[in-house]
Amino acid sequence: MTPGAMWIEYDMTQPTKLIRRRADPVEVQEPSELPGEWENYVARFAYPARREVRRLLRSSSRLVDLSVVFPGAIYALAARRKPPEARREAISLIENGAPLKTVARLLGLPLWLRRLPPEAFQKAIEEDLPAGETFARRVANRLPGAPSHSAFWLQSVAFGAKACHEDFALWLADQSIFSEPGNPEQLFGVLAAYAWHSRATQTRAHNLIVVPWRPEIAFDTALCAAKSWLNRMRLVLQLGPGVVTDPWLAGGEIRGYTFVPLLDRTEILAEARAMQNCADQYAERLGDDRCRLFSVRREREHVATLEIGPHSREAGMLAITQLKGRHNMAAPLDVWQAAYAWMASQGGLRRLPPRIPPERHLDNDAWTQLMGPYRRRTGGAPWLAVAASQAVFDGFNAQMSDLARRGGVSSWLFT
């Protein structure tokens, strides 16, 4: 066997016992230098571990065999993952031809890791990787497509299990988003919290989810649903009662339609629910004084949602920037006519946008309450900031936009 063929040979078909059981128990003197092809193989491991990997391969042909059938085990030995006595015992088992399962258990490694190439082990192997037979069988069909993708893939699977559950880890493993390296905590932090809350039906944060995560969900659907959930949380944190008091234009009734300003989270969430639209995604725009929303009603029935914003060509003037019916469909003609008649009756259509957006702090108490159950189940969830702020949510938005780019997801939510 040559190192060049290893990716194919050990990927799915290696036996679970160490190979080349010796008839003669006398140790064979190993060469002091590795052949050139083995030096190339050692170079596929993380740089800090290479010296020790090289030493181990020089010390025993059994360890050479191990490096082929289970690169993660030789890496664990080289990285000193376990105490010295455990490593010595593992090497003794290897020399005596013990089953891989026994060696893996002693080193604290799930056996499914043997299917991964040396490139996968660039950082310390997580202690709490899923090790059940069901997970091992299912993850075997979701291995990374190329050795160069395997490190980020493994780190993401480990994070998915830690930050959510095994189903989410398997779902992540099945995605085509590992062609460039990244930080799983940054890229998948919000996505993992959304998936976890999708099943936590008794939590407040679950009630803000419109489309719950499920194992069969498409990547683009899940990412857009997670971003929508994040925006709804921002709405709850930023637009409490009394935070925004100026509707810009006066509400009123005209041609049988009533125009009702939407200024706080309760009113906006109710409008989004009644109209099945995206009014609940406007927290940032409303908080920055870039627009105002109005509910258009007829005899108490919600018929349209109106957005007022700066005129696109006339500086300092307000205009209708959107008017949508239920499910974001086009509003009827008579609603448009009523909206323009209502605008014509207003005396405050001239409004210069603020040079500096107003500073509206996010409600940290609400953030603590929303994330409390999740933090208790995930060791504090350090990948999510403890204190909510504009900068924190800007960071979440940037990370999710990067993930959308990697996954080829196109949506106005990420613009």
Enumerate the domain spans of the chain.
Answer: 3-113, 184-237+363-414, 252-344
Asked whether 127 and 54 are in contact (CB, 8 A), the reply is: no
Q: Average pLDDT in the 314-324 region?
A: 94
For 303-316, b where at least 16 C-beta lie within 10 A, e where not — what string? bbbbbbbbeeeeee
Residue 65 has pLDDT above 80, yes or no: yes
Locus of tokens 């571990």: 49
- Sorted by sequence, the CB contacts under 8 Å of residue 264 that are 6+ apart come out as 239, 240, 241, 242, 243, 244
389 vs 37, which has greater pLDDT? 389
- Please say if the pLDDT value at position 283 is more than 50: yes
Does residue 14 register a pLDDT over 80?
Answer: no
Whole-number pLDDT of residue 354: 78
- Average pLDDT (278-302) is 94
CB contact at 8 A, 319 and 312: yes
Whether residue 18 has pLDDT greater than 70: no
pTM, two decimal places: 0.86
The whole-number pLDDT of residue 25 equals: 41
Asked if residue 306 has pLDDT above 50, the reply is yes
Which residue is associated with the tokens 């299917």? 115
Q: Give the model's confidence band at 8: pLDDT under 50 very low, under 70 low, under 90 confident, else very high.
A: very low
Given a cut of 50, is residue 260 above it in pLDDT?
A: yes
pLDDT at 13 over 50: no
Region 1-10 average pLDDT: 39
Percent of the chain with pLDDT over 70: 92
Other Cβ atoms closer than 10 A to 35: 11
Q: Which two tokens stand for residue 142?
A: 């979701």
Distance CA 71, CA 67 (A): 5
Q: For the domain 252-344, what is the CATH code?
A: 3.40.630.30
Q: What's the whole-number average pLDDT of the chain?
A: 90
Which two tokens mark 140?
């075997």
For residues 22 and 256, the model is more confident at 256
Residue 351's pLDDT is 87
Question: Which residues neighbour 372 within 8 Å (Cβ) at sequence distance 6 or greater?
Answer: none
Task: Report the C-alpha gap between 211 and 195 in whole angstroms.
Answer: 10
**What type of residue sits at position 78?**
A
Return the pLDDT at 300.
87
With bands split at pLDDT 50, 70 and 90, how would you rate the model's confidence at 15?
A: very low
Mean pLDDT of 258-281: 96
For residue 327, give both structure tokens: 């499910």
- For the stretch 177-182, contacts whose Cβ atoms lie closer than 8 Å and that sit 24 or more positions apart, written own/partner, are 177/219, 177/403, 177/406, 177/407, 178/144, 178/145, 178/149, 178/150, 178/152, 178/153, 179/149, 179/406, 180/152, 180/406, 181/151, 181/152, 182/152, 182/402, 182/406
Tell me the average pLDDT across 14-32: 43
Candidates 142, 19, 144; CA nearest to 69 is 19
Give the integer Cα–Cα distance in Å for 193 and 20.
Answer: 47
Cβ proximity of 227 and 403 under 8 Å:
no
pLDDT at 32: 52
Higher model confidence: residue 12 or residue 98? 98
* Mean pLDDT (whole number) for 240-261: 95
User: Could you read off the pLDDT of 207-238 as tens digits, one per residue?
Assistant: 999 999 999 999 999 999 999 999 999 999 99
Give the per-residue pLDDT at 34: 66
Span 68-89, average pLDDT: 93
* pLDDT at residue 12, rounded to an integer: 35
Select from 235, 226, 240 the least CA-distant residue to 281: 235
Task: Write down the pLDDT at residue 292.
Answer: 96
Task: Give the pLDDT confidence score for residue 286 in this predicted structure.
Answer: 93
From residue 308, alpha-carbon distances to 35, 108, 217, 241, 290 in Å are 73, 60, 35, 20, 9
pLDDT above 90: residue 4: no
Classify 258 as helix, strand or coil.
Answer: strand
Query: How high is the pLDDT of residue 38?
Result: 85
